[in-house]
Amino acid sequence: MRARGATAALLCAVAGYLLTSTAFAQQPALVGDPHRGKEISYTCLGCHGVEGYKNAYPMYSVPKLEGQHPEYLIVALQGYRSGDRAHLTMHSQASELSEQDMADVAAFFAGKPLTPSGKTGLTVPQAAQLCVACHGADGVAVAPMYPSLAGQHEDYLVRALNEYRHGGRKNPVMTGFAKNLRDVDIAIIAAYFARQSPGLRTEPRPQTVLGERAAGAAH
């Protein structure tokens, strides 16, 4: 009975957060210029533009960004800048960006955002039942302020959920959800969304004049 009460409370919180976020998303927003975003994102591409690139310590895959909603990417950058997301390199990078810079970089990396497919190809596991309220059964976010998870690196999703669970990321809904997850639940959720297709992609980094891909700072 207690578990049912907790689930109902969390569903109410998700619904409330959806409403407030939708209202926020309807406010006038800066229009991002993807061409300028490409010009100023050379340091970002040092990590996010290299297929399979990993954060050095702790070791996990740098997230794929192509296909995300630009609105979510802006929210993420704002979180790194404010400290709501704990990551020293990303905090340093985001702190140097203006609001327009963030909009431009987000527009470049997002490219053409994923659209709902209506098909999952997999049965939604019990552990992920609440996740689909915001992130979609096919891993495509139901609103632009939320991250799409389809095709994201499995180890990155595990890392993100653990950060919400242990306070490395601050979000009232995600914190309330993640704190009740077991390690096995996190593994199931990450595996489910990582296997959804079509999914997010890595924005390819332009090659240097020597035909090599340079590796940037660890993310």
Q: Give every residue of the chain whose pLDDT is below 50, as ranges.
A: 1-9, 12-13, 15-16, 18-26, 208-219
| 45-73 pLDDT tens trace | 999 999 989 988 789 999 999 999 999 99
pLDDT given for residue 192 in this prediction: 97
3-state secondary structure 26-94: CCCCCCCCHHHHHHHCHHHHHHHCCCCCEECCCCEECCCCECCCHHHHHHHHHHHHHCCECCHHHHHHH
pLDDT given for residue 203 in this prediction: 86
pLDDT given for residue 215 in this prediction: 41
Give the phi and the psi of residue 66 in degrees, each rounded to 5.
Answer: -70, 125
pLDDT given for residue 28 in this prediction: 57
Residue 8 domain-assigned (yes or no): no
Q: Domain containing 156 — which CATH number? A: 1.10.760.10
Residue 7 domain-assigned (yes or no): no
Angle at 133 between CA 131 and CA 134, to 5 degrees: 80
pLDDT given for residue 16 in this prediction: 47
Please, are residues 66 and 108 in contact by the beta-carbon 8 Å criterion? no
Residue 23 domain-assigned (yes or no): no
Q: Are residues 37 and 109 in the same domain?
A: yes
Rounded-to-integer distance, Cα 78 and Cα 178, Å: 21
Residue 21 domain-assigned (yes or no): no
pLDDT given for residue 56 in this prediction: 83
What is the model's pTM? 0.82
Q: Are residues 99 and 155 in the same domain?
A: no
Q: Are residues 71 and 110 in the same domain?
A: yes
Alpha carbon 156 to chain centroid, angstroms: 9
pLDDT given for residue 117 in this prediction: 84
For the chain, what is the domain count?
2
Residue 155 domain-assigned (yes or no): yes
Domain limits at 179? 117-199
Owner of token pair 């306070």: 167
Q: Are residues 54 and 104 in the same domain?
A: yes
Residue 27 domain-assigned (yes or no): no
Q: Are residues 140 and 177 in the same domain?
A: yes
| 116-144 pLDDT tens trace | 987 777 899 999 999 999 999 999 999 99
pLDDT given for residue 38 in this prediction: 95
Q: Are residues 180 and 161 in the same domain?
A: yes
Q: Are residues 121 and 90 in the same domain?
A: no
